[in-house]
Structure 1
Amino acid sequence: MALPATLNPLPHASKSDADDLLRQADNLSAAELDTLPFGLIQLDRTGRILKFNQTEAKLARINRDRQINRNFFDEVAPCTKVREFYGRFLHGLNQRSLYETFGFVFKFDHGWRNVAITMFYSEKTDSVWVLISQTSVTPPPGR
């Protein structure tokens, strides 16, 4: 399945490049994941983090190594445990088919990140890849 024409998580790449990258994510080494210009996180069926690239760690201002094996939805990014994000994750796992891009706002103490999220189910590893493309940073209200 290709990305819808209006949604491209990688604005400087073609949709087919984005498609190809997500389909090959399972084969990328940790070093290759770290060279990507966007965040990429791999989650198992329970939401446990299997891989977390350095780009996302820097953007989120967290230690990447401390995130491995933690539950993304409960421990790392509880703001994502909402229907718009977690619901899509669960539905995609249930259907064993997921390739969807949507806007989301991560709420950190240091500011809000407006991002484009692409979730892709990998049949090969029975996992979900979460691609996080930075769109902007907004200071929290009242600061």
Structure 2
Amino acid sequence: MTDPAGIDIEAAGIAATIESLAAEEVDRLPFGVIRLDPAGVVTQYSRLERHLSGYRREAVGRDFFAEIAPCMDNAAFRGRIERARTAGRLDIVFDYVSDMPNGARDVELRVRVVSALDGGCWILMQRDA
């Protein structure tokens, strides 16, 4: 197996790769990882994503768009995911500027969203350095 730190956010077959990793290995990926169930509830939230996003509460079990990232519950972020899901191709990559509600500077993200095996999805977020 490849060292998780060397996995690229745009690698082919990334969903299968991530699903084969233990939680500790997902925590070592060089980008934030969030797994949502089909209802949009967080089932996994990587240590790096917690650190980079500044989200300090327990994320697992919470509705991602309502409780964790309401700033991403818009056409430019959630809308893209829903349109791709409706089209039957949930493997999208896009750039997004996250407006942080706490007054911190805006954060440029490279986002990839891919289907999870159970019908949910993986949201992968790489921050601009």
* Smaller-chain TM-score bracket: 0.7 to 0.9
Partner residue, 1:78: 70
Are 1:41 and 1:130, in contact at CA under 8 Å, matched by a contact in 2? Answer: yes
Partner residue, 2:25: 32
Are 2:38 and 2:118, in contact at CA under 8 Å, matched by a contact in 1? Answer: no
Aligned-pair identity (%) = 25
Larger strand proportion of the pair: 1
Give the 4+ runs in structure 1 shifted more than 3 A.
12-15, 92-96
Change (3 A) 1:43 1:14: closer
Partner residue, 1:68: 60
Structure 1: distance between partners of 2:121 and 2:82: 10
Deviation at 1:20, TM superposition (A): 3.2
Partner residue, 2:84: 92
Partner residue, 1:117: 111
Q: Which moved more, 1:89-98 or 1:101-110?
A: 89-98
Deviation at 1:132, TM superposition (A): 0.1
Structure 1: distance between partners of 2:42 and 2:85: 15
Partner residue, 1:4: none
Structure 2: distance between partners of 1:90 and 1:28: 26
Structure 2: distance between partners of 1:29 and 1:96: 28
Gaps of 5+ in 2: 1-6
Deviation at 1:28, TM superposition (A): 1.7
Structure 2: distance between partners of 1:82 and 1:14: 23
Are 2:71 and 2:98, in contact at CA under 8 Å, matched by a contact in 1? Answer: yes
Deviation at 1:96, TM superposition (A): 4.2
Structure 1: distance between partners of 2:121 and 2:36: 5
- Structure 2 matches for 1:122-137, cutoff 5 A? 122=116, 124-136=117-129
Structure 2: distance between partners of 1:40 and 1:14: 10
- CA-atom RMSD, angstroms? 2.0
Matched to 1:53, the amino acid is S
Structure 1: distance between partners of 2:8 and 2:20: 20
Structure 2: distance between partners of 1:13 and 1:89: 20
